[in-house]
Amino acid sequence: MKKPAKRTSDLVSPRQQRNWDWRAAANFIAGGAGGGLLLFASVVSLEPDAARTAVLLALILIASGLTCVWFEIGRPWRALNVYRHFSTSWMTREAVVALVLFAAGGLAFLSLRPVFVILAGILGLAFLYSQARILAANKGIPTWRHPRSVTLMIATGLAEGAGFLVCVLSLSSAVIGFWTLAGLIVLIVVRALVWKMYLGKLVADGAPEGALKVLRGIDARLVIFGHFLPALAVTAVLAGMPGRAGLLFVAGIMVVAGGWFLKYTLVRRAAFTQGLALLHLPVRGCGIAGAAAKPGWRGIPGVKAG
């Protein structure tokens, strides 16, 4: 049976990218959280057992993300080629940082010497930043290339790292200081604000309608379950509500889950390609050119029709 011919608008409109699947998303999901957790494990005063647990969990998260993206490659051993482009590729920089990070993280886990713990934390932040720049370097995806996507990825990675740290501390029955909880609330608020600014700028600057529909569709759930409720739970603990450990564990998990939900949506579901655009519609022979056209978009920012 002959397939129906596609309309021109279907051929030039933005499409959901299919090159990066859930395994690529898992690298951003787990790796970003691991980098944030390493950072906070280095700046918060922790008991030895809690510190080792936090560092080990961070390394497992980062390793899991890299393993997922490694299996995404058709010929996995070609992944070694990633080390050839340090001057131009953020993927190469991520890979190089990861090698040093695992070495410093392993030494931090074994010895708990401050120099290694602090070094691992700095490298965790560098790894998180590299991942954010990888996403922004994909210029063909408007939701990724937007400048505010870097800030969003860093903000959610830091919030997830703090959320994981609170979970570790609540399970180990370690003392969780006031400033640790206050810092978690601040990071939750910052991520919520960055998310709102990112979404607002996408609408103002222009983005494919399909991407905006997906991101708007998760907005209410993300704000309520990923920000408002965990911040409320931490505030309740600070106010002296009983069930401190349970509330903090749930709050930490919700912060992490909200960030993972956001990143999976951004990488997989809201990743629409640029599509094609005409600054004006051509005419045959004599006549006036038509208005600008950009199928699948609200319009072309800064370009007047005609």
Per-residue pLDDT of the chain (306 residues; tens, 9 = 90+): 455 545 545 556 788 888 888 999 999 999 999 999 999 999 998 999 999 999 999 999 999 999 998 877 766 676 677 778 777 889 999 999 999 999 999 999 999 999 999 999 999 999 999 999 999 999 889 999 999 999 999 999 999 999 999 999 999 877 888 999 999 999 999 999 999 999 999 998 888 999 999 999 999 999 999 999 999 999 999 998 888 999 999 999 999 999 999 999 999 999 998 876 666 666 666 766 656 656 677 654 444 433
> Which CATH number describes the domain made up of 19-269?
1.20.1630.10
pTM of the model: 0.88
> What's the CA gap between 164 and 36, in Å, rounded?
9
Tokens of 135: 């996403």
Domain ranges of the chain: 19-269, 278-306
